[in-house]
Amino acid sequence: MNLMSLPDPVAVERVDALLSHLGLRIERIVSRGQASPAGFWYDQAEGEWVLVLAGAARLRFEDETDARVLGPGDWLDIAPHRRHRVDWTDPAVPTVWLAVFYR
């Protein structure tokens, strides 16, 4: 599967598992305007290294005032239990994420 060959649009985020090995998971996530629900924060036991391959997003950490603006080639490492949310993804184009979850 080529990561830039996208599935048909659906109402929810699409997640494809690319690799799973012991404590490691690599996923492709395709967002089409989705954001985290109001007031919702991810609080994950795993570390998450995340890269934007296409599109645009705003990711916010609870411990920071301003959202991080992310476009193609931008990446972040999210430490375990660092609370964060996706404030916005571009509704006009698919936002393609590569996420590496690790323990």
Q: How many helices (H) and strands (E) does the chain have?
A: 0, 8
- Greatest pairwise CA separation for the chain in angstroms: 38
Residue with Cβ nearer a second copy (40 or 79): 79
Measured distance CA(70)–CA(89) in Å, rounded? 9
Residue with Cβ nearer a second copy (67 or 98): 98
Residue with Cβ nearer a second copy (37 or 73): 73
AA identity, residue 38: A
Verify binding: residue 99, a second copy, rule CB under 8 A.
Answer: no
Interacting residue ranges for a second copy, rule: CB under 8 A: 2-5, 18-19, 21-22, 24, 26, 47, 49, 51, 53, 71-75, 77, 98, 100, 102
